[in-house]
């Protein structure tokens, strides 16, 4: 089971003077249970791409296959697809609108026409999954901190019981602790509950730490698609695309240039620490 993009092309304002090709023949497949990062500079086509995956935008060319079926075929239930592929937009807390947290999370499942009991069960479950404290269920969403609001917004999407969740920069504007908490919860949803995750991020450090695979968009094309250690090896090309590698990659590269044989596929602080301690004979070099 998977979501697959086949020669996906999208042109804004086709046939007008402002015609702009935002996607140019993009191909990939994301399998169930994968944790994928999507990076690319502003305007590279990331947002356009993710809006195709749950049918918010319709491709001008190519196809999207969900579990092997084209979502563009006649009679395809796009409404059901949007329940299966949940999209969490940037700054999702701006979309909170109910008078209390619990009602806000209930809004999605209520629209599915479920029984009151089932709606509440799902809302409670979703709020638990994001680690939201029960004593705050009755609070107005507007009285919460930035990190809490964002968790409520994510719970609202989780309450739809998606199979895949796409998050567009879920940590923008959060402090380091809030960032680690949100990403930790997303990681748990993936590892423990098997939810497929596509994480859009501008933080190379975050991507390096959490995802199994990175897709890099550049000028509407998929420039790289592979494990973080493979992708960040191309740091010079990434820089030319307005991106970068995690800080740690640069430290490792510099050590290598100066004759220290550190593994050049290291992308996190923990890996680098273990490798350097190993070289210094301080043991524990293998564990990460």
Tell me the closest approach of the beta carbon of residue 214 to other proteins, in angstroms: 14
If one asks whether residue 23 binds other proteins (CB under 8 A), the answer comes out as no
Please answer whether residues 162 and 128 qualify as being in contact, where contact means their C-beta atoms are separated by less than 8 angstroms.
no
Instruction: Tell me: does residue 173 bind other proteins (CB under 8 A).
Output: yes
CA distance 208 to 254: 18
* Binding residues among 95-124 for other proteins as defined by CB under 8 A: none
- Give yes or no for residue 68 binding other proteins (CB under 8 A): no
CB 132 within 8 A of CB 104: no
Q: How far is the CB of 175 from other proteins (least distance, A)?
A: 4
Q: Are the C-beta atoms of residues 24 and 18 closer than 8 Å to each other?
A: no
The answer to the question of residue 30 lying near other proteins (CB under 8 A) is no
Q: Contacting other proteins (CB under 8 A), which of 67, 254, 263, 288?
A: 254
**Alpha-carbon dihedral 167, 168, 174, 180, rounded to 10 degrees:** 40
Q: Which of 116, 138, 212, 250 binds other proteins (CB under 8 A)?
A: 250
Structure tokens at 173: 């504007």
What is the token pair recorded at 180? Answer: 């680690």
Q: What is the dihedral of CA 252, 257, 263, 268, to 10 degrees?
A: 10
- Looking at the Cβ atoms of 21 and 202, the one nearer to other proteins is 202
State the minimum distance, in angstroms, from the CB of residue 168 to other proteins.
11
**243 sits near other proteins (criterion: CB under 8 A):** yes
User: Applying CB under 8 A, does 75 fall inside the site for other proteins?
Assistant: no
Give the residue carrying structure tokens 């092997």: 68
Q: Which of 117, 236, 258, 287 binds other proteins (CB under 8 A)?
A: 258
Determine the interface stretch with other proteins among 60-68, 111-119, 183-191, 197-205 (rule: CB under 8 A).
197-205
Residue closer to other proteins by CB (options 69, 143) is 143
Site for other proteins in 132-151 (CB under 8 A): 145-147
Residue from 133, 138, 184, 284 in contact with other proteins (CB under 8 A): 284
The beta strand positions in the chain, using DSSP E, are 2-12, 20-31, 35-39, 61-66, 69-70, 85-88, 164-168, 196-200, 213-218, 221-226
Q: Does 42 bind other proteins (CB under 8 A)?
A: yes
Binding window for other proteins (CB under 8 A); candidates: 48-56, 60-68, 108-116, 265-273: 265-273
What is the 8-class DSSP label of residue 95?
A: G
Angstrom distance (rounded) from CA 11 to CA 20: 5
Residue 103: C-alpha distances to residues 114, 140, 149, 226, 231 (Å): 14, 10, 14, 40, 42
Q: List interacting residues with other proteins (CB under 8 A).
A: 40-43, 90, 145-147, 169, 172-179, 202, 204-205, 242-244, 246-248, 250-251, 254-255, 258-261, 269-270, 272-273, 276-277, 279-282, 284
């Amino acid at each position: 089971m998977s979501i697959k993009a086949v020669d996906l092309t999208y042109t804004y304002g086709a046939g007008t003077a402002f015609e702009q090709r935002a996607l140019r023949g993009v191909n990939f497949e994301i399998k169930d249970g994968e944790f994928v990062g999507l990076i690319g500079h502003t305007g590279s086509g990331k947002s356009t791409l993710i809006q195709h995956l749950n049918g918010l935008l319709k491709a001008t060319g190519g196809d999207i296959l969900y579990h092997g079926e084209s979502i563009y075929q006649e009679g395809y239930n796009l409404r059901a697809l949007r329940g299966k592929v949940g999209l969490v937009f940037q700054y999702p807390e701006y979309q909170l609108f109910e008078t209390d947290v619990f009602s806000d999370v209930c809004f999605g499942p209520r629209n599915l026409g479920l029984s009151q009991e089932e709606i509440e069960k799902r809302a409670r479950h979703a709020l638990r999954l994001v680690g939201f404290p029960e004593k705050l269920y009755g609070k107005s969403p507007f009285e919460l901190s930035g990190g809490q609001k964002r968790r409520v917004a994510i719970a609202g999407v989780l309450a739809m019981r998606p199979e895949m969740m796409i998050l567009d920069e879920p940590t923008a504007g959060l402090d380091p602790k809030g960032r680690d908490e949100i990403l930790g919860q997303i990681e748990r949803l993936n590892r423990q509950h098997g939810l497929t995750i596509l994480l859009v991020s501008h933080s190379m450090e975050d991507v390096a730490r959490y995802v199994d695979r990175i897709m890099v968009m550049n000028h509407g094309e998929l420039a790289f698609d592979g494990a973080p250690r493979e992708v960040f090896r191309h740091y010079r090309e990434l820089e030319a695309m307005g991106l970068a590698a995690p800080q740690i990659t640069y430290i490792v590269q510099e050590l290598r240039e100066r004759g220290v044989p550190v593994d050049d596929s290291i992308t996190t602080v923990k890996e680098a620490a273990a490798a350097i301690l190993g070289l210094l004979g301080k043991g524990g070099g293998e564990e990460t």
